Amino acid sequence: MPMDDKLIEIRDLRVGFRMGGERFEAVRGVSFDIPANTTVALVGESGSGKSVSAMSIVRLLPPNAEVDPASRILLRGRDLAQASPEEMRRLRGKEISVVFQEPMSSLNPVLTVGAQVAEVLRIHTDLGARAARDRSLELLDEVGIPEARARLDAYPHELSGGQQQRVMIAIAIACEPQLLIADEPTTALDVTVQRQVVDLLARLQQRHRMSMLFISHDLGLVGEVAREVVVMRHGEVREAGPVQRIFDAPQDAYTRALLACRPRLDARPRRLPVIDDIMASKPVDTRERPSRPAEGEPLVQVQGLRKAYRLRTGLLRRREVEAVRDADFSLHRGRTLGVVGESGSGKTTLGMMLTRLTQASAGRILFEGQDLATLGPRALQPLRRRIQIIFQNPYASLNPRFSIGQILMEPMRIHGIGANEDERARLALGWLRKVGLPAEAFGKYPHEFSGGQRQRIAIARCLTLQPEIIVCDESVSALDVSVQATVLNLLLDLQEEFGLSYVFISHDLAVVKYMADDILVMNKGEIVERGEAGAIYANPQHPYTRQLLAAIPRGLAAHAPARAAA
């Protein structure tokens, strides 16, 4: 297919949002093409304008969006920016389809999976109800839904995250569109499920000879799926071109920064490069970061830890499901224990039991000779301040009605830290400075901060209690790679300064390798492999560990053998 066969041409796209009487310009003069039967990637951090640019194609922007009348969005010469609402309704789902980031928010919870796939067929084709249901079954089978016939009558909440995303893809390709827009379709998925979805999209793109606009902030992933890349920042295109040229010889400093700030599997520098440093041409510290030795007795010893849930399966029937089985591990002062595995592997349950936010069914959690698993609420209270947790979603873990000052002072008040409110306020301001936030943040509210800033606030809230152990439960998985690098550097700085011990839970193996000294690999509630981080990555023993490592996005490196053969 010649590259000059253009399916979509975007010329001088300008989009602003009217807020409180002022106009904020989100996209500033963006131009790029999407050739036929080609995957083009839009890459950039949150707020770069990539999703706004993509949603402008299908006119799915909020009511306060204003598209400049001079902007042109051409579909084979037809200007979609001038199309009527009726024309756009006929076009969406038939000629251009979208797969969104969060499938559970996109699927209708009160309709079965089969009904939702059939709906788009009934709207855009002349198929009857029976034929639409039969075609829906074919589509679910094509996207790899197991037991597709049984899943036709299932509801979205009965499917896993990966299966929900496959349903969204089935809906999107039902009418064989010319263009599929995939907006961060794998961000919330485990590394193995992410690999399955990316491979599925690539196969469908080739089989149906459609174009795909793949939106992501992960250049490693983009390097495996795209032929062309458009790099955006602050609403502008910073660089565009063939993926191999962008990876091998990026021209723009911002592109080089995006490539550099992602943790690598072949190196463990003292600090991750961050975008601002690279943009300012600051030297990067490439020295290896050594692990802190495991000295003395373990700070925590876990023995035979088990958690089982009893689920109702009928009116009088129940069955027991083991979330964690016979977990044994130890954690030394000043070291980081990484816990990796897919969703449902039991890693979060393990962290919740360690903090006693979930009661263990059996086993011991020995902390300085005391068994945390058996302590009552009164005896446990003074120990809670010594073991804290940072949750995955900083948008949900901070009270939206509290100011940042109240969020930081509340745990100090509960645990009797500080003689009075003035002293607690002074301590809170000190912790804000420690995590890199200005004093002005004290009186603001969570909604006034970005995701990365909110996670810094969550870290500061933990630090107000001066804990010895912090459980980081997917605490950077929702962040852009650049913000992620900043937060990881902060966690390492705090560990070095205060001698903190971390239990670092994640499905991102590249991040875990960078952070962890020791690693536990969990699968279906069991620890299937354990050991020093470098040794596990260099020579994994368990097939499941090898499967996880094979699924890590490696950018163009994933295609190196094919290029060498060519």
Q: What is the pLDDT of residue 559?
A: 44
Last residue of a domain, one of 116, 141, 176: 176
Q: What is the pLDDT of residue 2?
A: 45
Instruction: Classify residue 64: in a domain, yes or no.
Output: no
pTM of the full structure: 0.83
Q: What is the pLDDT of residue 114?
A: 95
Task: Give how far Cα 10 sits from Cα of 212, 213, 216, Å.
Answer: 15, 13, 19
Q: What is the pLDDT of residue 566?
A: 31
Instruction: Classify residue 240: in a domain, yes or no.
Output: no
Burial 139-156 (b: 16+ CB within 10 A, else e): bbebbbbeebeebbebbb
Q: What is the pLDDT of residue 4?
A: 58
Total number of domains in the chain: 2
Structural domain range at position 413 = 300-541
Q: What is the pLDDT of residue 188?
A: 63
Q: How far is 41 from 311, CA to CA, in rounded Å? A: 43
Instruction: Classify residue 80: in a domain, yes or no.
Output: no
Q: What is the pLDDT of residue 561?
A: 36
Residue 417 structure tokens: 């830290």
Closest C-alpha to 305, from 368, 370, 369, 372: 372
Same domain? For 171 and 307 the reply is no
Q: What is the pLDDT of residue 61?
A: 92
Instruction: Classify residue 396: in a domain, yes or no.
Output: yes
Q: What is the pLDDT of residue 13?
A: 96
Place of tokens 């089978």: 141
Last residue of a domain, one of 154, 176, 198: 176
Instruction: Classify residue 429: in a domain, yes or no.
Output: yes
Q: What is the pLDDT of residue 563?
A: 35
Integer distance in angstroms from the first to the last C-alpha of the chain?
19
CATH number for the domain that contains residue 511: 3.40.50.300
Q: How far is 407 from 442, CA to CA, in rounded Å? A: 9
Q: How far is 356 from 283, CA to CA, in rounded Å? A: 43
Instruction: Classify residue 149: in a domain, yes or no.
Output: yes
Q: How far is 133 from 125, CA to CA, in rounded Å? A: 13
Last residue of a domain, one of 131, 160, 176: 176
Instruction: Classify residue 20: in a domain, yes or no.
Output: no
Q: pLDDT 10s digit of each residue in the chain, 566 long?
A: 344 589 999 999 999 998 878 888 999 999 999 999 999 999 988 888 999 999 999 999 999 999 999 999 999 999 999 999 999 999 999 999 999 877 778 899 999 999 999 999 999 999 999 999 999 999 999 998 888 898 899 999 888 777 888 899 999 999 999 999 998 888 767 778 788 888 888 888 988 899 999 998 877 788 888 999 999 999 999 999 999 999 889 999 999 888 888 888 888 888 888 888 888 888 877 788 888 888 888 999 999 999 998 877 667 777 888 899 999 999 999 999 999 988 778 999 999 999 999 999 999 999 988 999 999 988 998 899 999 999 877 778 899 999 999 999 999 999 999 999 999 999 999 999 989 899 999 999 998 887 788 888 999 999 999 999 999 998 887 777 888 888 899 999 999 999 999 999 988 888 999 999 999 999 989 999 999 998 999 999 999 999 988 888 776 554 443 333 33
Instruction: Classify residue 190: in a domain, yes or no.
Output: no
